[in-house]
Amino acid sequence: MPKGVARYDLSGKFGAEAADAVALLRAARPHAARLGLHFHVGSQCLDPLAWRRAMELVGQVARAAGVPLEVVDVGGGFPVAYPDVTPPPLGAFFAEIEAAFEALDLPGAVLWAEPGRALVASGGSVVVQVQQRRGHELYVNDGVYGALSDAGAPGFVFPCRLIRPEGVASQALQGFALYGPTCDSADRMAGPFWLPADVQEGDWIEIGQLGAYGACLRTAFNGFDRARLVEVRDRPMLDATGEAALAA
């Protein structure tokens, strides 16, 4: 799939030009029990029309190949809300996909999708402790080599809240950057992470919307590889529209 407007471009390593895809389909058809076309518009894609354009390309390849197809896989990439992002409703994406699939007119073909982030992003948080404060920067005990990889170079902004005993008043919110626990200067998360202005050493912070890739991208770099996993049943930090579901 050509490079689009997704937060993560996934077109650099895999894929085939249309002419090559036609040749591959024709070569594979005599040997395949089930044959199909797959594309991916990129992760965290905010444009529903990206799927329509991709499906039009699928139609061009299918017609040129002239062989029956059993599967059209539209990949993933469906977006979720973050503090600085409010995506269109998922229904807008599904409507484009459904209409485009019907227009393909592929008898017997089924539609597949891989909505990973859209399903699980809200299902995970990490709780970190502030170990030092330096102005608007907080040093915490997890970082880009742990559960917060996407907060590093990709620059994702995640919802967060200070965890304090009930009845303790908090000041107005202020934007902070975070440093992780490793020796690497790249272990920095620019944020901003919006927290009470009086956050201090020893405080605990929940950082949410990490269900998609927070756990699977963890490493043991510098020996920081211990995390206690706890299952809870509270509400996600953000709802589908990006509104905070928990008070800061």
Domain positions in the chain: 18-114, 122-223
Q: Please tell me the distance from the alpha carbon of residue 58 to that of residue 56, in angstroms, as a whole number.
A: 5
Phi, psi of 28 (to 5 degrees): -80, -25
pLDDT of residue 175: 95
Distance CA(113)–CA(78), nearest Å, equals 10
Please state the rounded mean pLDDT for residues 195-217. Answer: 91
Q: How many CB atoms lie within 10 A of CB 125?
A: 24
Phi/psi of residue 217, nearest 5 degrees: -95, 5
Write down the CATH number for the domain with range 122-223: 2.40.37.10
Q: What digits encode the pLDDT tens for the residues 124-144? A: 999 999 999 999 999 999 999
- Domain 18-114, classified CATH 3.20.20.10, yes or no: yes
Q: Please answer whether residues 164 and 202 qualify as being in contact, where contact means their C-beta atoms are separated by less than 8 angstroms.
A: no
Rounded Cα distance between 237 and 248, Å, is 9
Q: Work out the angle between the directed axes of helices 18-28 and 49-65 (0-180°, nearest 10).
A: 50
By residue count, the chain amounts to: 248
For the chain, give the percent of residues with pLDDT over 90. 67
Confidence bin at 224 (pLDDT 50/70/90) = confident
DSSP, res 214 = T
Q: What is the pLDDT of residues 22-62, one digit of tens each?
A: 999 999 999 999 999 999 999 999 999 999 999 999 999 99
pLDDT at 244: 63
CA distance linking residue 12 with residue 2, whole number of Å: 9
- Can you tell me the mean pLDDT for 185-201? 94
Mean pLDDT of the chain, nearest integer: 89
Is the model's pLDDT at 246 over the cut of 50? no
CA distance 69 to 108: 8
Question: How confident is the model over 135-177, as pLDDT tens digits?
Answer: 999 999 999 999 999 999 888 999 999 998 766 667 789 999 9
Pairing of strands 173-179, 188-196: antiparallel
